[in-house]
Structure 1
Amino acid sequence: MNNPSFKKLAEISPSRYDICMMVSKRARRIVSGSAPLTEQVEAKPVTQALNEVIEGKVTKK
């Protein structure tokens, strides 16, 4: 289970809604067949998407 701190996520965006939308949109792309953006590949798409957001590989448009 992945439990990132909100402080770390708040550095990306102060809005929880924005973070949720970034993660969910990226997870949908992963399920559709998009290649992972990080070297560490997770089994679950939401976990993979969250890691990519935390590492700064996915940003809000």
Structure 2
Amino acid sequence: MLHPSYNDLMQVVNSEVEPGEQPVVNSRYSIVLATAKRARQIIDGAEPLTESSCNKPLSIAVEELYKSKVKIVSEDDENENE
């Protein structure tokens, strides 16, 4: 079993959502996409945002997400910021 689990990651990501608002992440698929995107950024040279005992980009990305160092933004929000 992986630690943290998908459910743990979803709870952390959605922890800042106000009651009545739609959760940032609704599925495991969203967690996987966000983590993979961050791992690719690390592979491409982005600095890790947290100290990790593992040096694999995917493990670092999962840890960053779990420690709330990375925020998941929907595509709609991303397009508004551009």
TM-score range, shorter chain: 0.7 to 0.9
Pairs within 5 Å for 1:1-61? 2-11=2-11, 12=13, 13-40=25-52, 42-61=54-73
| Cα deviation digits, residues 32-59 of structure 1 (max 9, x gap) | 0100100225211000000001111111
Q: Which ranges of structure 1 fall in alignment gaps of 5 or more residues?
A: none
TM-score (norm 1): 0.82
Q: Which ranges of structure 2 fall in alignment gaps of 5 or more residues?
A: 14-24, 74-82
Provide the aligned C-alpha RMSD in A: 1.8
Looking at structure 1, the residues matched to 62 and 53 of structure 2 have their Cα atoms a distance apart, in angstroms, of 12
Greater RCO (Cα-Cα under 8 Å, separation 6 or more):
1
Looking at structure 1, the residues matched to 7 and 50 of structure 2 have their Cα atoms a distance apart, in angstroms, of 21
Specify the alignment match of 2:77 in structure 1: none
User: What is the deviation of 1:2?
Assistant: 4.5
Looking at structure 1, the residues matched to 6 and 60 of structure 2 have their Cα atoms a distance apart, in angstroms, of 17
TM-score (norm 2): 0.64
Structure 1 segments of 4+ aligned residues over 2 angstroms from their partners: 39-42
